[in-house]
A and B are shown apart, each in its own frame.
Chain A
């Protein structure tokens, strides 16, 4: 479980960073999306990995350490919404840049080799 989760986070973050450093705007936006998935999974895993446990309990009735931590789920939800909105905004800028410069290079002009 830990191995699969950490591998997933690592692969997503690694691919994301690689794509982020590419010269095409579309690659950059996909890279940002992948990193945001990696970050969301990371936040989620910070609540410790627990299977099939209820999140909200009465501390007097049971030992809280046996239960899942609900806060990271709330954090992830907020982070997802924010990342989604900013990515959508970035997409608009990407299209505007394409419209103005006629190229999808991140610098707005092709590099001639």
Chain B
């Protein structure tokens, strides 16, 4: 851990920042230059994320205590300076972001990146915001990285323009601005009471609060929770989601899948740190479990009622948030390990599903083709129309309809949680853990979780089965689309990652269970952050046992 290796933890933020900034210097017409930069950036992020995973899990030799790597920016000691913290939970999210980002980016290079301006820089800044939010060790930088990723997402949600997107984008931006203000109010309150914004320091200090201070802190934490719940799309704070995700262009919608999970991540991170001192209500079972069940119910109703496939996929995203909240907030038991497995599976599956739906849309002979409208608006040639065999990016794949059909079935199985895909492993371990760890006989909560999760699977089968029949078997006017390798490849990649996850479910589950154990003992995180001192001569920071 010497030389440049010690700067590894900050690379997932620095790489997309530099590449995104460089792209702005490259002319918009110089597509090859931007693609090269984009590829380098995403490959670099994936490599850095995997390296951090190996370090944190102890596969590579390191001197990180308990697998927690702390990077001091500017070498200021922890509660005062800014820290980036790499731990087991953060690296899972980093690797997931890199894989999903890579798939969405490759897909976008086939045609969507030309449907508007500045797709590539915005995409890099979105990834930077995501990586930063997973790495940051203090609340204010969490807010800053949230804003970075949201600002990029506003641009990407509107990518391709068109009336529907702008209308949905208006609501999306307004709701998220309000959520950001709530986040600021909460942070100001927490800072006012505890005098710290560093998460580890906060966790250590929260326990010492008493009386009115404690109540103010709880109020601040509750507002913080509301802000995260808006981002994570928990009912009744999720009405912005279906229109935005359904109208966003396919690669953007796919990468947005991880954005709702940032809210879940923040809840999990802060909830786990505050747990020993008595987590405030919003982060514990009292509110999270009922909200999760309500979100699941809302998702089920919306999914069955939704007419368009994209809207169905959006409601699937809401259901996945609901399942996660219900599982994480489940009173009396800890389902963090299986819930993380479910999180990874559902992000990959829904990302693949959004990409796939856009390709399936092209088999329909009629209907508003949003891409055509955008291409016209920007006075670009339809790449499809000018397709010739010497097209540099266009390596068409054979048997396009077979590929689309099989991928659709795979995605439907994954989302519904049926064997043999990893969605089944996720839901099965979740429910079996809920049944096993419930003390004595399973209580009402367990049965509620069981019922809603199984029923949500049924709703998925009904809704997606109906859509599949309509899209593939009503053959009257389907056209066989010409699919490029760069479009089919990412979907295949995402599905194969989930297949790998079901084959090696044991090791993956083991790792995630260890992550859950680690989250259950936040003193490891707190000690690692607060004892990390810079190389200079500084008085050691007082550390709580």
B134-163 interface (Cβ within 8 A of A) = 140, 144, 147, 150-151, 154-155, 158, 161-163
Q: When the two chains form the complex, which single residue of A28, A72, A108 contacts B188, counting CB atoms closer than 8 Å? A: A72
B171-227 interface (Cβ within 8 A of A) = 171, 173-174, 177-178, 180-181, 184-185, 187-189, 191-192, 197
Once A32-B177, A89-B154, A93-B158 are accepted as A-B contacts, the answer to whether A78 and B170 lie under 8 Å apart by CB is no
Once A20-B178, A32-B178 are accepted as A-B contacts, the answer to whether A42 and B167 lie under 8 Å apart by CB is no
Which residue on chain A has the smallest CB distance to residue B148?
A82
Bound complex: CA A79 to CA B141 (Å)? 11
CB distance from B264 to the nearest CB of A (A): 23
CB distance from B168 to the nearest CB of A (A): 9
List, in ascending order, chain B residues with CB within 8 A of A85's CB: 151
Query: Are A106 and B166 closer than 8 Å at their CB atoms?
Result: no
Bound complex: CA A56 to CA B144 (Å)? 24
List, in ascending order, chain A residues with CB within 8 A of B167's CB: 97, 100-101, 107-108
A30-50 interface (Cβ within 8 A of B) = 32, 35-36, 39, 42-43, 45-48
- What does DSSP make chain A's interface, helix, strand, loop or mixed? helix
Query: Are B173 and A46 closer than 8 Å at their CB atoms?
Result: no
List, in ascending order, chain A residues with CB within 8 A of B140's CB: 75, 78
Q: When the two chains form the complex, which single residue of B154, B163, B188 contacts A100, counting CB atoms closer than 8 Å? A: B163
The yes or no answer to A86 lying at the interface (CB within 8 A) is yes
The yes or no answer to B242 lying at the interface (CB within 8 A) is no
The yes or no answer to B169 lying at the interface (CB within 8 A) is yes
CB distance from B474 to the nearest CB of A (A): 32
Q: When the two chains form the complex, which single residue of A36, A39, A71, A93 contacts B170, counting CB atoms closer than 8 Å? A: A93
Bound complex: CA A72 to CA B140 (Å)? 11
The yes or no answer to A94 lying at the interface (CB within 8 A) is yes
Once A106-B170, A107-B167 are accepted as A-B contacts, the answer to whether A39 and B185 lie under 8 Å apart by CB is yes
Q: When the two chains form the complex, which single residue of B158, B170, B188, B192 contacts A25, counting CB atoms closer than 8 Å? A: B170
The yes or no answer to A90 lying at the interface (CB within 8 A) is yes
Which residue on chain A has the smallest CB distance to residue B146?
A82
A66-113 interface (Cβ within 8 A of B) = 71-72, 75, 78-79, 82-83, 85-87, 89-90, 93-94, 96-97, 100-101, 106-108
Bound complex: CA A96 to CA B164 (Å)? 11
Bound complex: CA A28 to CA B162 (Å)? 21
The 8 tightest CB contacts between A and B, nearest first, are A46-B192, A43-B188, A108-B167, A100-B163, A46-B188, A82-B147, A96-B166, A97-B166
Can you list 10 A-B pairs with a CB-CB distance of less than 8 A?
A: A20-B178, A32-B174, A42-B185, A46-B188, A72-B188, A83-B177, A93-B170, A96-B158, A100-B166, A107-B167
